[in-house]
């Protein structure tokens, strides 16, 4: 922890790969994991004379994110050439947006521990193309250009974050929101969601910002926290000992848990941005803008679940994955009364467990939500005890088999028929005259004892509710 008189200031730049099937300026596939250089064409190889043509699907996704985060969507935005030399950049420049990005302002809603929502401001969101990848192997270094031209949005956050923890919460909220919006898969390991962290410190109370360092190469939430924490301490120690922070780019070395210099301000690239002559200005019409739908964001789903009576803990688990939200909604709708709460128990219980055990693929569930509602009904009418109901649900989730069939096969149905239970009740009372006397004398909690005896007779298959009622009737 830095001494209390220093305040850390952090701003994140996130690169998120858009989930289009083809690249941003050509028709090549964006699928991950294909053999190197098999998803390329003259455009994304940067061959002379090849002309880019903008993928409107990528623009629609950028608009969707911008709308969801309350950005101002530019009616007219401009693509520019960002010039630099690197082997993975065959054209010698990256097409990006510079002066006039597609989205301006806006904020990311970040849920806080106390349940409130903090809004962290955005500077901008712009569209750009990804570069290729350098692959270092034993026999030398190679360049794979499959990723060259894959569409990205860069989400630039304001320097409003004040701790490593803040930054990681922001990043988690942003990642989940993009997944909900269907514009990004959130995969940090494959690099489809990447983050650079800008870190500075200043004396508490100061109004101007300190000199910042940009941290690169942080590809997990844990590393984000570690890199920022290390950097805060490094800067504070430097300043306390009379030194100065120099503006530079540093790499995070996750094996050593430290950041080290990559390039200084003097060595910084001069990108010589200029408008891309091969692309016209991007014009977003009113109709286009209005036609882009934004689904609910995680914090809105959270609020809805809470309002429907789902506990905060359950709602957290469910909203962590939009597929769980969807399943929950469909089970709740099929179940009717009390459906939201009951469905939540199933989702965080049997469904979450089956997913963890690899017995349920949320991408292709084998069961129908109506089958879960059917189990609820069997429980309500007394055919299933709550324990048996859970067992049936587990089986249905994993196999998609009909609940009635599972109940019959496993012999799980319980005896609810009053006539059948009546004789057991009478036998229990006859066998326990002393307890009957004590009950009548006021020891009402003996009811549990009688029900327990009856259950023993019935090998656990009696309906406890019906038994309770029958004993009461006989004893009073």
**Which residues form the interface with Zn ion (CB under 5 A)?**
26, 28, 41, 43-44
Size of the chain, expressed as the number of residues it contains: 476
How far is residue 72's CA from residue 253's CA, in Å, rounded to a whole number? 37
- Using left for φ > 0, alpha for ψ between -120 and 50, and beta otherwise, residue 105 falls in left
Q: Which is nearer to Zn ion, 91 or 299 (CB)?
A: 91
Residues 6 or more apart whose CB falls under 8 angstroms from that of 48 comprise: none
Residues making contact with ligand ADP (CB under 6 A):
9-13, 156-159, 198-200, 209-210, 212, 214
Exposed/middle/buried for residue 336 (C-beta within 10 Å: 0-12, 13-18, 19+)? exposed
How far is residue 153's CA from residue 55's CA, in Å, rounded to a whole number? 13
Q: Which is nearer to ligand ADP, 214 or 229 (CB)?
A: 214
Tell me which residue has tokens 């059917």: 374
Selection from Zn ion, Mg ion, ligand ADP, none that 28 binds (CB < 5 to 8 A by kind) is: Zn ion
Selection from ligand ADP, Zn ion, Mg ion, none that 45 binds (CB < 5 to 8 A by kind) is: none
Q: If residue 354 lies in a helix (H) or strand (E), which one and from where to where?
A: helix 352-356
Selection from Zn ion, Mg ion, ligand ADP, none that 418 binds (CB < 5 to 8 A by kind) is: none
Selection from ligand ADP, Zn ion, Mg ion, none that 89 binds (CB < 5 to 8 A by kind) is: none
Selection from Zn ion, Mg ion, ligand ADP, none that 159 binds (CB < 5 to 8 A by kind) is: ligand ADP
Residue whose Cβ sits closest to ligand ADP: 11
For 437, other C-beta atoms within 10 Å of its C-beta total 10
DSSP letter at 446 equals G
Q: Which is nearer to ligand ADP, 199 or 389 (CB)?
A: 199
Half-sphere exposure of 296 (CA within 13 A, CB side): 13
Give, in order, the Cα–Cα distances in Å from 4 to each of 10, 33, 188, 205, 460: 17, 47, 33, 11, 62
Q: Which is nearer to ligand ADP, 156 or 303 (CB)?
A: 156
Q: Which is nearer to Mg ion, 13 or 104 (CB)?
A: 13
* Whether 284 contacts 256, CB under 8 Å: no
Selection from Zn ion, Mg ion, ligand ADP, none that 9 binds (CB < 5 to 8 A by kind) is: ligand ADP
DSSP letter at 26 equals S
Q: Which is nearer to ligand ADP, 197 or 425 (CB)?
A: 197
Residues 87-116 that bind Mg ion (CB under 5 A): none
Closest CB 166 distance from ligand ADP, rounded Å: 12
Closest CB 149 distance from Zn ion, rounded Å: 5
Residues 4-33 that bind Mg ion (CB under 5 A): 13
Selection from Zn ion, Mg ion, ligand ADP, none that 11 binds (CB < 5 to 8 A by kind) is: ligand ADP
How far is residue 51's CA from residue 306's CA, in Å, rounded to a whole number? 51
DSSP letter at 184 equals -
Q: Which is nearer to ligand ADP, 11 or 365 (CB)?
A: 11
How far is residue 452's CA from residue 458's CA, in Å, rounded to a whole number? 10
Residues 354-373 that bind Mg ion (CB under 5 A): none
Q: Which is nearer to Mg ion, 154 or 395 (CB)?
A: 154
Selection from Mg ion, Zn ion, ligand ADP, none that 156 binds (CB < 5 to 8 A by kind) is: ligand ADP
- Chain contacts with Mg ion (rule: CB under 5 A): 13
């Amino acid at each position: 922890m830095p001494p209390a008189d220093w305040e850390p200031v952090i701003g994140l730049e996130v690169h998120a790969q858009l989930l289009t099937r083809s690249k941003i300026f050509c028709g090549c596939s964006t699928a991950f994991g294909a053999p190197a250089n098999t998803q390329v064409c003259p455009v994304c190889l940067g061959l002379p004379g090849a002309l880019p043509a903008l993928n409107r699907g990528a623009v629609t996704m950028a608009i969707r994110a911008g709308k969801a985060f309350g950005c101002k969507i530019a009616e007219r935005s401009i693509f520019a050439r960002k010039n630099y030399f690197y082997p993975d950049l065959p054209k010698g420049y990256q097409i990006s947006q510079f002066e006039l990005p597609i989205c301006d302002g806006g904020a990311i809603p970040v849920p806080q521990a106390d349940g409130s929502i903090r809004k962290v401001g955005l500077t901008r969101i712009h569209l750009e193309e990804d570069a290729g990848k350098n692959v270092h192997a034993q026999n030398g270094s190679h360049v794979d250009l499959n990723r060259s031209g894959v569409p990205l949005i860069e989400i630039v956050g304001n320097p409003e974050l004040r701790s490593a923890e803040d930054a990681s919460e922001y990043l988690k909220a942003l990642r989940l929101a993009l997944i909900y919006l269907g514009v990004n898969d959130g995969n940090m390991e494959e690099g489809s969601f990447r983050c650079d962290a800008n870190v500075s410190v200043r004396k508490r109370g100061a109004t101007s910002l300190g000199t910042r360092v940009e941290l690169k190469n942080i590809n997990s939430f844990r590393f984000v926290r570690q890199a920022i924490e290390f950097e805060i301490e490094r800067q504070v120690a430097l300043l306390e000992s009379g030194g100065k922070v120099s503006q530079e780019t540093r790499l995070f070395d996750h094996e050593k848990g430290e950041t080290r210099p990559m390039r200084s301000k003097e060595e910084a690239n001069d990108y010589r941005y200029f408008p891309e002559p091969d692309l016209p200005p991007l014009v977003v019409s009113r109709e286009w803008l209005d036609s882009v739908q934004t689904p609910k964001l995680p914090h809105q789903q959270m609020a809805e679940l809470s309002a429907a009576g789902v506990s905060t803990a359950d709602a957290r688990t469910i909203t962590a994955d939009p597929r769980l939200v969807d399943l929950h909604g469909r089970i709740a709708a099929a179940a009717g009364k009390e459906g939201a709460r009951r469905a939540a128990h199933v989702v965080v219980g049997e469904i979450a467990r089956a997913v963890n055990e690899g017995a349920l693929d949320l991408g292709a569930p084998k069961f129908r939500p109506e089958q879960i509602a059917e189990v609820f009904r069997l429980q309500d009418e007394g055919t299933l005890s709550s324990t048996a109901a859970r067992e049936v649900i587990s089986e249905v989730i994993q196999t998609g088999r009909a609940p009635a069939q599972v109940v019959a096969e496993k012999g799980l149905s319980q005896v609810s028929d009053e006539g059948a239970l009546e004789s057991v009740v009478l036998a229990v009372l006859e066998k326990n005259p002393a307890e009957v006397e004590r009950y009548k004398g006021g020891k009402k909690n003996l009811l549990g004892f009688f029900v327990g005896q009856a259950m023993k007779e019935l090998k656990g298959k009696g309906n406890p509710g019906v038994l309770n009622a029958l004993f009461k009737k006989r004893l009073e």
